[in-house]
Amino acid sequence: MGVRGRGRVIGDVTGRGWRRALVTGGAGFVGSHLCARLLDDGTDVVCLDNLSTGTRSNVLELDRRRRFRFVRGDVTDEDVVHGLPGPFDLVLHFACPASPADYLRLPLETLDVGSSGTRNALERARRDGARFLLASTSEVYGDPLEHPQTESYWGNVNPVGPRSVYDESKRFSEALVTAHRSVHGTDAAIVRIFNTYGPRMRTGDGRAVPTFIAQALDGTPLTVAGDGSQTRSLTYVDDTVDGVLALAASAETGPVNIGGGEEITMLELARRVVELTGSRSRIRFVERPVDDPERRRPDTRLAAERLGWRPRVGWSEGLESTIGWFTARAVAA
């Protein structure tokens, strides 16, 4: 039985029926997968990206599709956002540096996109009467004292630590969405995404999965932070896209957690990557980053009950697919 929302039925947690969508950050990892899925569903898509962390190659193949348009521009520029060819009935706000390497390199830009960028995207959604969805993150929970993390948990965030530019940017974005909905009645929702991985990740973005895979394929040591006992709950990108579009197509406002149910240690992940790649790489332990969360696993009962969503791809299966993509790119290069 599907979940009905906004005149659409969500059967396999896949939203359908939008005429024209704006995806900010659409040339990024998750954003590019969203653009492709929306196009497959018959939606016209405008992808807005300044390419500070996204890559044009992620959406090059989409250029051949007449329903797709790429615009290089910054969501923090009000004139750019309001000048985009609409009207839109869906705005997915995914623009933001999302890896530690990126947001530590671009701290002020990260804060700007969470504040003025979110405001501009919200105003465009309000002007067009569009459904708006903010891509928030499990990082709003910080180094959580509650486990697993429910949407009602307020988090344990260091507001002046090195990760704060990303954590607080997303927390402010959530507050802005909530205020905009309250003041203007904007049809807006918040999704909190947990540790998504899959094809199109960048090897140098500092996240564990692409870093481990790149190191294993190169035959260099896999650099595991600390003793590797810290945990994450990995979510394959197809499952994340399903959850995002299910929430977008519902009447829910969120926040709603979208994340995997299998909690693994970083040491376990590194060993599994070595095994699946057939690499001779060893594991080398390095200093653990400041404020690196000890444990991370979402409580996804709300997504299951309200959206009919559950992750379907196990982390081992998803890793095989991701390794296959990285291997093919290495051979092509």
R_g of the chain computed on alpha carbons: 19
Is there a catalytic annotation at residue 166? yes
Q: Extract the tokens encoding 315.
A: 């982390």
Angle of CA points 52, 89, 16, to nearest 5°? 95
Tell me the two tokens of residue 253.
């406002």
CB 188 within 8 A of CB 181: yes
Catalytic pick from 141, 166, 197, 236?
Answer: 166
Of 12, 11, 5, nearest to 238 by C-alpha is: 12
Q: CA–CA distance from 160 to each of 102, 120, 167, 176, 317 (Å)?
A: 18, 26, 10, 20, 38
Alpha-carbon span 5 to 74, nearest angstrom: 31
Of 44, 67, 68, which is closest to residue 56 (Cα–Cα)? 68
How many other CB atoms sit within 10 Å of the CB of residue 13? 25
Joined together, the tokens standing for residue 129 give 């009467």
Contact between 67 and 79 (Cβ < 8 Å): no
Half-sphere exposure of 331 (CA within 13 A, CB side): 6
Alpha carbon 41 to its chain's center? 20
- Please list the active-site residues: 166
